[in-house]
């Protein structure tokens, strides 16, 4: 029996990347799993009955947790009533605590320690797998878990892939929660450089604002031109100022998949100037839609970007990003080459991810 942890997604209030991973795997695994949630132990999702695990059962989780959030989870793992597997994302809260929600920073060391007690940990990238092993080594911890990798699906829309042969209008899309790590304020500075040159294009930012940074200065302080935290969220303030100046930038705080597909269809390229990621799922989701992308030249993003359809650009290099974005918007020949690469390269589906997970559990 495979029990699948749905503790958080059963009450999820927003479509985060982590929630998407758990929800899509749950849906693709279908009848092969029994959903379960934590409430002083794991219980059946359709009732309050506490699960009696057998040693041959598997418990699979794609969620983040700690002893504080799930009192008794450490003892559960030590008791080993069944086999356990976890999907691991990243160590961003430890590597970048100054731009991460404090609750995540406080939880993460204990979460990473708990992962060592699992039987199997599947990281969402080679870079994430390496950092987890390095963290355990630094801790001096002898981990029970074996660490591998799993490819996440690109087909968020549950629709066939799209191939594009005609350059669309000059519109750009940046998808992700609005927070310093995603570096949207740097992107606005790049776009403002191009708007000042006279280049005409629309910019769409899709994602909710991280409430922790509602009234805090972002990472790129030098880009704020004198703004202070009492003026409210600096990124939203900057967007409003650009719109007041006539710049075509739009923030979409909430958008369902149907509306997002319409936006993809009218998008020339997606833009991901992020400074830290565990995988960079929006990169392959963009390629599934046939839309080329510019992304930060991070090793974790290169794992997907180097397959074609992407231009990696040096993190926070204003001149490099301005030049790359200018070319993306004006060079149809380069755009067509990227679009062809995006359409030709293999990309995993969520059905592939589910099959890979089941194969890992059968080893």
Average pLDDT over residues 86-114: 92
Note the pLDDT of residue 12.
Answer: 64
Same domain, 211 and 100: no
Q: Report how far residue 334's alpha carbon sits from residue 167's, in angstroms, rounded to the nearest whole number.
A: 10
CB 156 within 8 A of CB 185: no
Task: Say if 158 falls within a structural domain.
Answer: no
For residue 310, what are the β-bridge partners? 293
Q: Report how far residue 113's alpha carbon sits from residue 65's, in angstroms, rounded to the nearest whole number.
A: 11
Q: Report how far residue 304's alpha carbon sits from residue 300's, in angstroms, rounded to the nearest whole number.
A: 8
Among 304, 363, 339, 15, CA closest to 161: 339
**Tens digit of each residue's pLDDT (9 = 90 or more) over 320-342:** 999 999 999 999 999 999 999 99
Same domain, 182 and 325: yes
Note the pLDDT of residue 271.
Answer: 98
CB 205 within 8 A of CB 282: no
Q: Decide: residue 280, CB within 10 A, 0-12 exposed, 13-18 middle, 19+ buried.
A: buried
Note the pLDDT of residue 219.
Answer: 43
Task: Say if 19 falls within a structural domain.
Answer: yes
Same domain, 339 and 354: no
Among 64, 97, 101, 89, CA closest to 177: 101
Residues in the chain: 363
Q: Choose the weakest-confidence range: 93-97, 123-127, 168-172, 227-231.
A: 227-231
Task: Say if 159 falls within a structural domain.
Answer: no
Residue-wise over 134-159: b if at least 16 C-beta within 10 A, else e?
ebbeeeeeebebebebbbbbbbbbee
Same domain, 113 and 178: no
Same domain, 109 and 127: yes
Tell me if residue 81 falls in helix, strand or coil. Answer: coil
Task: Say if 310 falls within a structural domain.
Answer: yes
Same domain, 103 and 193: no
Task: Say if 131 falls within a structural domain.
Answer: yes
Q: Report how far residue 298's alpha carbon sits from residue 278's, in angstroms, rounded to the nearest whole number.
A: 10
Task: Say if 269 falls within a structural domain.
Answer: yes
Number of domains in the chain: 2
Same domain, 117 and 243: no
Note the pLDDT of residue 166.
Answer: 93
**Which domain does 209 fall in, by range?**
171-344
Q: Report how far residue 26's alpha carbon sits from residue 6's, in angstroms, rounded to the nearest whole number.
A: 8
Task: Say if 230 falls within a structural domain.
Answer: yes
Tell whether the model's pLDDT for residue 18 goes beyond 60. yes
**Tens digit of each residue's pLDDT (9 = 90 or more) over 185-197:** 999 999 999 999 9
Same domain, 23 and 121: yes
Task: Say if 304 falls within a structural domain.
Answer: yes
- In the chain, the percentage of residues whose pLDDT exceeds 70 is 93
Note the pLDDT of residue 84.
Answer: 98
Q: Report how far residue 119's alpha carbon sits from residue 138's, in angstroms, rounded to the nearest whole number.
A: 20
Same domain, 139 and 225: no
**Tens digit of each residue's pLDDT (9 = 90 or more) over 201-256:** 999 999 988 877 655 544 443 333 333 333 347 888 899 999 999 999 999 987 88
Same domain, 94 and 184: no
Mean pLDDT rounded to a whole number for the chain: 91
Among 153, 155, 157, 161, CA closest to 343: 161
Note the pLDDT of residue 221.
Answer: 39
Same domain, 208 and 327: yes
Q: Report how far residue 84's alpha carbon sits from residue 5's, in angstroms, rounded to the nearest whole number.
A: 11
CATH number at residue 270: 3.40.50.2000
Average pLDDT over residues 89-117: 92
Tell whether the model's pLDDT for residue 272 goes beyond 80. yes
- Of the pLDDT bands very low, low, confident and very high (cuts 50, 70, 90), residue 14 is low
Record the tokens describing residue 78, joined without a space.
Answer: 């030590």
Q: Report how far residue 291's alpha carbon sits from residue 268's, in angstroms, rounded to the nearest whole number.
A: 7
Same domain, 85 and 181: no
**Tens digit of each residue's pLDDT (9 = 90 or more) over 30-89:** 999 999 999 989 998 877 789 999 999 999 999 999 999 999 999 999 999 999 999 999
For residue 269, what are the β-bridge partners? 172
């Amino acid at each position: 029996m495979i029990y699948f942890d749905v503790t958080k997604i059963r009450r999820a209030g927003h479509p985060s990347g982590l929630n998407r991973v758990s929800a899509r795997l749950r849906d693709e695994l279908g009848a092969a799993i029994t959903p379960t949630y934590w409430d002083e132990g794991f219980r059946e999702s359709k009732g309050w009955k506490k699960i009696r695990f057998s040693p041959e059962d598997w418990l699979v989780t794609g969620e983040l947790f700690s002893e504080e959030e799930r009192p008794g989870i450490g003892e559960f793992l030590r008791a080993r009533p069944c086999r356990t597997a976890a999907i691991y994302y990243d160590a961003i809260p430890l590597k970048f605590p100054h731009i991460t929600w404090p609750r995540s920073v406080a939880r993460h060391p204990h979460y990473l320690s708990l992962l060592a007690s699992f039987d199997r940990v599947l990281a969402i990238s080679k870079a994430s797998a390496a950092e987890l092993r390095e963290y355990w080594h630094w801790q001096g911890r002898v981990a029970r878990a074996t660490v591998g990798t799993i490819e996440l699906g690109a087909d968020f829309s549950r629709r066939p892939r799209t191939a594009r042969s005609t350059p669309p209008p000059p519109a750009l899309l940046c998808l992700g929660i609005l927070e310093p790590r995603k570096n949207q304020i740097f992107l606005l500075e790049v776009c403002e450089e191009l708007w000042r040159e006279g280049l005409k294009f629309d910019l769409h930012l899709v994602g909710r604002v991280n409430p922790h940074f509602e009234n805090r200065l972002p990472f790129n302080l030098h880009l704020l031109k004198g703004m202070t935290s009492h003026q409210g969220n600096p990124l939203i303030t900057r967007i409003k100022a650009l719109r007041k100046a006539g710049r075509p930038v739009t923030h979409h705080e909430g958008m369902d998949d149907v509306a997002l597909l319409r936006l993809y269809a009218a998008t020339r390229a997606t833009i991901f100037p992020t400074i830290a990621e565990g995988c960079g799922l929006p990169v392959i989701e963009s390629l599934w839609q046939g839309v080329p992308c510019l992304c930060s030249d991070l090793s974790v993003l290169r794992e997907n970007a180097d397959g074609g359809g992407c231009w990696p650009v040096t993190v926070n290099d204003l001149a490099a990003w301005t030049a790359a974005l200018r070319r993306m918007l004006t060079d149809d020949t380069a755009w067509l080459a990227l679009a062809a690469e995006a359409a030709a390269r293999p990309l995993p589906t969520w059905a592939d991810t589910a099959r890979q997970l089941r194969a890992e559990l059968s080893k």
